[in-house]
Amino acid sequence: MQVEIHHPKINVRRQCELLGLSPSTLYYRACGESAFNEMLMRLIDKQYIETPFYGSRRMAVYLGREGHDVNRKRVRRLMRLMGLEAVYPKPRLSVSDKQNPVYPYLLKGMTIDRPNQVWCTDITYIPLRRGWVYLVAVMDWASRFVLSWEVSVTLDASFCIEALERALATWGTPEIFNSDQGSQFTSGGFTKPLRKAGVKISMDGVGRCFDNIFIERLWRSVKHEEVYLHDYQTVAEAVCGLARYLEFYNHRRPHQSLDYRTPAEAYGARQSLVEACV
């Protein structure tokens, strides 16, 4: 299912309501960055997926070897704009807020082998032809099933909260919910529904790039199998492409680690991700 701008019967606003999306995102155009900087951001994004431990210094060296002589200051600014930081010392896309409480990491040494035992979440950057958006997903750890997702043009907490609330309303509650220490996930608006539902909250340790490894692998699949193969022109195209891919990922893409079952089969989900948003 996708948003059809010129649908003869259902207007764009109603289609967005059915998909749980904000209509404003479909017409957003990021501005303020030159075409050259946006090209650099795409290169940085691709390299970051391969080497998330690259900081601005190494990334500047990489860009130089690709024929783009840019200084570290520019690279650092662009990475900050994208929300990217090296896994050492800070591994996550989102930036922490010292005013919000941080919860301990609860998954160390734990065997996670059943649906709804642990859910996890993260944010990634999605490039467009002109500009970019951010994608958040909520995933079941054991089955790799994507429970919900949301796209936003900013890195505020609201789109993360929407994705969380949709997952809880549709699929029930997990025993533990794991995230990084970013301000989106430590905010009261995000933790309140988890605490209200009696869910234990777990957060990755600083500098621990593998604490949330399965959703990091999801981003790698999303980027290599969908985003980098399609040059999204608009937010609408990105939303449609991501919806198509995540439906494929959940219901038709077998995983070797799941004995070649799909995430939906491992989770026991009969409802599709698109139907879950209606």
Give per-residue pLDDT as tens, 30-71.
445 788 888 899 899 888 888 877 888 999 999 999 999 899
Domain CATH number, residue 166: 3.30.420.10
Q: Does 235 map to a domain?
A: yes
Please give the tally of structural domains in the chain: 2
Other CB atoms within 10 Å distance of the CB of residue 9: 6
Q: Does 187 map to a domain?
A: yes
Q: Does 97 map to a domain?
A: no
Residues 240-267 pLDDT 10s:
999 999 999 999 999 998 999 999 999 9
pLDDT band at 27 (very low <50, low <70, confident <90, very high): very low
- Predicted TM-score (pTM) of this structure: 0.76
Please name which of 248, 273, 90 lies closest in space to residue 181, comparing C-alpha atoms: 90
Mean pLDDT of 124-137: 91
Cα–Cα distance measured from residue 105 to residue 136, given in angstroms and rounded to the nearest whole number: 20
Cα–Cα distance measured from residue 148 to residue 137, given in angstroms and rounded to the nearest whole number: 6
In terms of domains, do 82 and 169 share one?
no
**Ordered DSSP codes for 109-171:** T----STTSEEEEEEEEEE-SSSEEEEEEEEETTT--EEEEEEESS-SSHHHHHHHHHHHHHH
- What pLDDT shows up at residue 259? 93
Cα–Cα distance measured from residue 244 to residue 259, given in angstroms and rounded to the nearest whole number: 24
In terms of domains, do 77 and 148 share one?
no
In terms of domains, do 52 and 143 share one?
no
pLDDT band at 168 (very low <50, low <70, confident <90, very high): very high
In terms of domains, do 37 and 130 share one?
no
Q: Does 151 map to a domain?
A: yes
Mean pLDDT of 198-211: 75
In terms of domains, do 136 and 71 share one?
no
In terms of domains, do 45 and 137 share one?
no
**Residue 82 lies in domain:** 31-86
- Strand pairing of 146-152 and 132-140? antiparallel
The answer to whether residue 17 scores a pLDDT higher than 50 is yes
Q: Does 127 map to a domain?
A: yes
